[in-house]
């Protein structure tokens, strides 16, 4: 048999034709006039056997640049992190990867408990009271937070730091059009939000202030200063987008009075895979739990007192009156949330802290090496695992040449801000070795004439 999944013998074909009462496949198209039917042969290759096709596809795939063949210093929202081997083992189990919405809790306890554990770990990392069962990605989770702030405060002005990821800012603006939100972008000084400009723009009509921690440039934002500013403005909400891995070391946003914390769990157990799918999260205070978009899984007991899990507090129009719904988000990323949960569990509290420390240590080693090689490091404040350098050569040219050397270079900041032409955002994760970092510095130096 030529095909594994499409077996078709002549007798199979004849049996199907007989069943529907025709003599040939041509009769299937009798409603189409003869004059418009294609009579020639399609200009495509002859069908290959399965072994031949697999060989051809493997040859094509081998031309791809991947994280298995190149060392990556590209971040800007998608990162190359260690994924414990147990992650793939667990999420490949059929009861998880074929599972759909757990509407029937009596037969979905495993799925519901996995989501409950995800919510719990996100709360522990962010310092918040409650987290939902996951969202599509960090950008849409952040936009949902902005919309919630407008609905909760009955205000339409949002102060959005320009150090928030540019793609997330675009999503916020798109979401905000429907609610007629006034999005005011606050510029930055030395890579962090300009606190003076923020204070000047803050007024009684401000629904929320949106900050990213660590921010798009890798810098650590002064959340304490933002918290102090907001003390003088009633009702204005404090929204923080965050990297959950960084929270393995940094003080969680909840300690700085954040009302909503969002982010992307891609850093835990989810491969880069062409930029998606990801797993957003949304964490908030108990006060706002009934306004959370998406789903929450709650813990309860059955009539015999045994621990169990159920879907609860679903604030979407499918479950409650439409006018009371807080969002039209009606799904989650359960499988990716499971991957993140397994990764966090495998690492444990100490492991997450250790990985965060390694990110900080290795990125600081790389920063020192670039400075020693003559590359200006643009921002000098505290950072997590990303920093910005300036080069003389066009970044797209630089990255093409780096690929030839087996290196995936950093992100071209000139793509999102004309002020940063020839600036590269470099990410250094725990997977990068000293040898890889040294080679990157050397090759970039050779390309840029240092």
Q: What is the pLDDT of residues 198-220, one digit of tens each?
A: 999 999 999 999 999 999 999 99
CATH architecture of 71-82+348-448: Alpha-Beta Complex (3.90)
- If residue 182 lies in a helix (H) or strand (E), which one and from where to where? strand 182-186
Residue 278 has a CB neighbour count (10 Å cut-off) of 25
Please choose, from the candidates 89, 79, 10, 190, the residue with its C-alpha nearest in 3D space to the C-alpha of residue 429: 79
Kindly tell me if the per-residue pLDDT of 402 is higher than 70. yes
Q: How far apart are the first and last CA of the chain?
A: 61
CATH of range 85-343; options 3.40.640.10, 3.50.50.60, 3.40.30.10, 3.40.50.300: 3.40.640.10
| Average pLDDT, integer, range 73-84 | 97
Supply the pTM of this predicted model. 0.88
Model confidence over 318-377: pLDDT tens digits? 556 666 666 767 677 889 999 999 999 999 999 999 999 999 999 999 999 999 999 999
Kindly tell me if the per-residue pLDDT of 1 is higher than 50. no
Instruction: Locate 226 and state its tokens.
Output: 């933002």
Please choose, from the candidates 75, 365, 421, the residue with its C-alpha nearest in 3D space to the C-alpha of residue 216: 75
Q: What whole-number percentage of the chain has pLDDT above 70?
A: 95
Distance, in Å, from the CA atom of 317 to the CA atom of 328, rounded to the nearest integer, reads: 7
Please choose, from the candidates 331, 325, 337, 256, the residue with its C-alpha nearest in 3D space to the C-alpha of residue 292: 325
Tell me the domain boundaries of the chain.
Answer: 71-82+348-448, 85-343
């Amino acid at each position: 048999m030529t095909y594994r999944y499409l077996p078709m013998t002549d007798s199979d074909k004849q049996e199907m034709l007989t069943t529907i009462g025709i003599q040939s496949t041509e009769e299937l198209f009798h409603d189409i006039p003869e004059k418009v039917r294609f009579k020639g042969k399609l200009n495509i290759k002859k069908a290959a056997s399965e072994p031949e096709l697999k060989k051809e596809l493997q040859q094509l795939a081998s031309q791809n640049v991947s994280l298995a063949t190149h060392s990556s210093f590209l971040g800007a929202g998608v990162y190359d992190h260690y994924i414990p081997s147990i992650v793939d083992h667990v999420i490949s189990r059929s009861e998880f990867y074929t599972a759909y919405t757990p509407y029937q809790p009596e037969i979905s306890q495993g799925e519901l408990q996995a989501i409950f554990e995800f919510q719990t770990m996100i709360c522990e990392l962010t310092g918040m009271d409650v987290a939902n069962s996951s969202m599509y990605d960090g950008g849409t989770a952040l936009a949902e937070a902005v919309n919630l702030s407008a609905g909760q405060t009955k205000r339409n002005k949002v102060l959005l730091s320009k150090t928030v990821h540019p793609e997330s800012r675009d999503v916020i603006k798109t979401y905000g059009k429907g609610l007629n939100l006034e999005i005011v972008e606050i510029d930055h000084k030395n890579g962090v939000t300009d606190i003076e400009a923020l204070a000047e723009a803050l007024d009684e009509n401000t629904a929320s202030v949106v900050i990213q921690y660590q921010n798009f440039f890798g810098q650590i934002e002064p959340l304490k200063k933002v918290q102090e500013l907001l003390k003088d403005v009633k009702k204005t909400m404090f929204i923080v987008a965050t990297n959950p891995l960084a929270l393995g070391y940094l003080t969680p946003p909840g300690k700085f009075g954040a009302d909503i914390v969002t982010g992307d769990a891609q850093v835990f157990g989810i491969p880069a895979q062409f930029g998606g799918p990801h797993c957003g999260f949304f964490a908030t205070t108990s006060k706002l739990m009934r306004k959370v978009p998406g789903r929450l899984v709650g813990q309860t007991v059955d009539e015999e007192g045994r621990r169990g899990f159920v879907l609860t507090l679903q604030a979407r129009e499918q479950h409650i009156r439409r006018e009371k719904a807080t969002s039209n988000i009606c799904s989650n990323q359960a499988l990716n949330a499971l991957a993140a949960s397994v990764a966090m569990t495998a690492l444990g509290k100490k492991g997450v802290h250790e990985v965060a420390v390694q990110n900080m240590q290795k990125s600081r080693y790389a920063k020192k090496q670039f400075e020693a090689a003559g590359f200006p490091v643009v921002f000098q404040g505290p950072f997590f695992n990303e920093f910005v350098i300036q080069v003389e050569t066009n970044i797209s040219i630089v990255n093409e040449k780096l690929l030839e050397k087996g290196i995936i270079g950093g992100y071209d900041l000139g793509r999102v801000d004309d002020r940063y032409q020839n600036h590269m955002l470099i990410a250094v994760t725990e997977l990068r070795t000293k040898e890889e970092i040294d080679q990157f510095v050397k090759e970039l130096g050779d390309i840029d004439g240092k």
